[in-house]
Every structure is written in structure tokens, then in C-alpha cells.
Amino acid sequence: MKNYLTASISESAVRHNMAQLRRLIGPGVKLCPVVKDDCFGHGMDVLYPVLAELTDGFAVAAPLEALALRGKGYHGFILCFLSAYFDDFKIQDELVWQEITQTVMSTSALESIQAAARRVGKTARVHLKVDTGMGRLGVPARQAVALIEQINAADEVELTGIYTHFATADEAERSATFRQLELFRSIVAVAGGITRHAANSAATLDLPETHFDMVRPGIAVYGCHPSDHLTSTVELRPCMSVKAKLIAVKRIPAGGYSGYGLTHRYDRDSRVGVVPIGYGDGYFRNLSNKAVVRINGMDAPVRGRVSMDQMTVDVTDIPDVKVGDDVEVISSDPTAPNCVENLARLAGTIPYEITCHLGHNMRHELVD
């Protein structure tokens, strides 16, 4: 962690986003935010007290993420997306003992969870994941009913939910999503009175027919829209801003260069600032010569290649720039040129990747 890199997380923005999601899903649907990968890089340590107050449960990717939530004192519903049968027995047993709901997607996963339940002498609660067209994890749809019957017949294991995941809910063309939805409906019709869930951020925002009993929004909780065509569906407020300090200011004459490969030539006498952030900190190298940062409220273009732990910016047109000035690397203003969504466009990626990469090497603080 680098103390001179700070991610400020707005509590009011997160509360606003959660309220917007609550309004969309209505009172009968549970809200279970996805907090995997350290809340998509936003910092579980600072966000946990806020989210724990506002949520009906948490969804995580890995067993250790689930156990970490229990370690923070959370006693409510936790869904772990990945089965633990590749982990050692101690972790498998702890998941059952700590009453963490695990995902079953195969007979081998069921057998592993059942064995752990027997070792600790406690019933394991599970949700069945069905692959309805994502082509990734989940029991194939044609085998789902048989696996439901196996789970219901298993000792020490209780089936409490069933879910699927959409491959294209964030796209304007919805035919594939509706095919997945219809297939899921045909399976849950025979699953009995258990919790049904399917909606990710995009489906939560734009497809109310997918809400069922619970939704699992991810990036929307943190204020980013999952795709451009959904930006008008609901007002979300980005909660993260990232700041660094200017560590050097130097003059480069017209015709000079900065950075590896000498990819930017200055066509005038210029002042160049050095910012201590780079691709090792999650700031993408392919933002070189494309992105801007803000210093004293003014744009400073990134010039030259982004290095592992520093980059150079043109501060020629910003008066009174000095070492120690704050550098706004990422703005929480969704209209700013250095907001997460615009940086994702420049980098040819998605907001999820920007925030997840940036979160790991900096200090997080909760503000307002």
C-alpha cells in the first residue's frame, strides 16, 4: 500500500445508489450486493459498516472473502459463488460452521459440502447455480432437475436457493438474455419454494422481470453503469475518487520528450509534472497520451508512456503548480474527463476493470 495514493469513498454516494436500487426492486425483493474483489476495488474495510446497514446479505466470490465478512461480525446471509472443494478441509468445515451459503453446481461439489457438514455436525445451506447460457460455471440446464433431486435427498444439506447469471444483460440486444430467463423459469418451476435470483447490475436496472426474490447488483452499488445505454435508467453516483501528490515539476524545452520510448514530443517549452502512480498501481499503460488528471481544478494531459509507478503530465497551462499539489487521478464527477467510465472508454475496457485494478495499492478512506 502506498500512503501517498488515496482512494476517497463517498458514503453518501453509496447510500444514494443503494436507495435507488431499493426503489427499483420494490419491497418484496431482497438486495444482496456483490462485494467480491474488495468491493470491486473500493475497499471492504471502509464500506462494510455502510453496506451492512443497508443490505439483506452479501455475495462474494471466494471462501476466504466470506469468512472475512464473518470476521467483521456480520451474522446475516452470505452467498459464496465458488465451491470450496479445492480448499483444505479446515476452510470447507469453517464455511459450514459459520453458516455461509455455498454454491452447488455439480455432484462433486455436493459431496464435498456434505462431507464437511458431517465433520462439523451441522446442516449446510446451499444454492444451486444453473448454466442457462453463460457457458461458464453452473450445472448444465438439462441436468439441473436431477441435481436438485440429489441435493434434496442428501443428508445434512439444505437447498435454500437457485440462481443463474446473465451473459448479455448489459447489451441493448436482449434476445439471448430472454432465452436464458425463460430457461431459468422452466427450472425454478420445479425447484419448490426456495429463493430465486438472477439479476446482476444491468438486469436490476433495466429488466424488472428478472428480479425474482433477490437481486445481486455489483458495479451499480459503487455508482458506475454497467454499459453506456443504461446511463439514463437511474441516477447513480460514482463513489470513488483517487488522489496522488505531485512529486516533481521540471521544464522541458520545445522538441524534448518524456517517458519510455519517447512517444510524446513537446512542441513548445513546457512544464512537466511527475505523478507517483503507474500500471503497477493499476493505472493502465494504454492510457498513455490519452487520459488527463486534474490539478488545481484544471486538466493536465498524460504525456509519454505510463510507467510502473509514475507518469508525466503536462502542466504548462496550469499556473502556480508546485511539488506537493494534489493530483486528482480519478474524479467522482461522472461528467469529468477523468471519471471511471471515461477512463474505461479510453482504455477500451469496462469500469469494473478500472476500479478493481486501482484498488489494491492505495489507502482507502470513507468521506462525507
What are the tens digits of pLDDT across the range 262-286? Answer: 999 999 999 999 999 999 999 999 9
Nearest alpha carbon to residue 191 among 65, 114, 104:
104
Residue 83 is predicted with a pLDDT of 77
Tell me: the pLDDT tens digits for 64-109? 999 999 999 999 999 999 877 776 889 999 999 999 999 999 999 9
- Residue 359, pLDDT > 80, answer no
HSE-CB at 19 with a 13 A cutoff on CA atoms is: 8
The yes-or-no answer on residue 260 being catalytic is yes
- Name the catalytic one among 4, 72, 250, 260: 260
Angle between helices 89-97 and 107-120 (to 10 degrees): 70
For residue 331, what pLDDT is reported? 97
For residue 175, pLDDT beyond 70: yes
CA angle, corner 75, sides to 72 and 77, nearest 5? Answer: 115
Cα separation, 197 vs 190, in Å, equals 15
Q: Mean pLDDT, to the nearest integer, of 186-203?
A: 94
Residue count of the chain, please give it: 368
Cell readout for 220 is 451499480
- Three cell numbers at 113? 459440502
Give the type of residue at 133.
G
pLDDT at residue number 10:
97
Phi-psi region of 40 (alpha: psi -120 to 50; beta: other; left: phi over 0): left
Cell numbers representing residue 315 in the block = 502542466
- Please identify which of the residues 4, 36, 283, 322 carries the catalytic annotation: 36
**Cβ contact 92:112 at 8 Å:** yes
Backbone angles phi, psi at 164, to 5 degrees: -140, 175
- Catalytic, 72? Answer no
Helices (H) and strands (E) in the chain, counts: 11, 20
User: Does residue 1 register a pLDDT over 70?
Assistant: no
Domains of the chain: 11-223 (3.20.20.10), 240-331 (2.40.37.10)
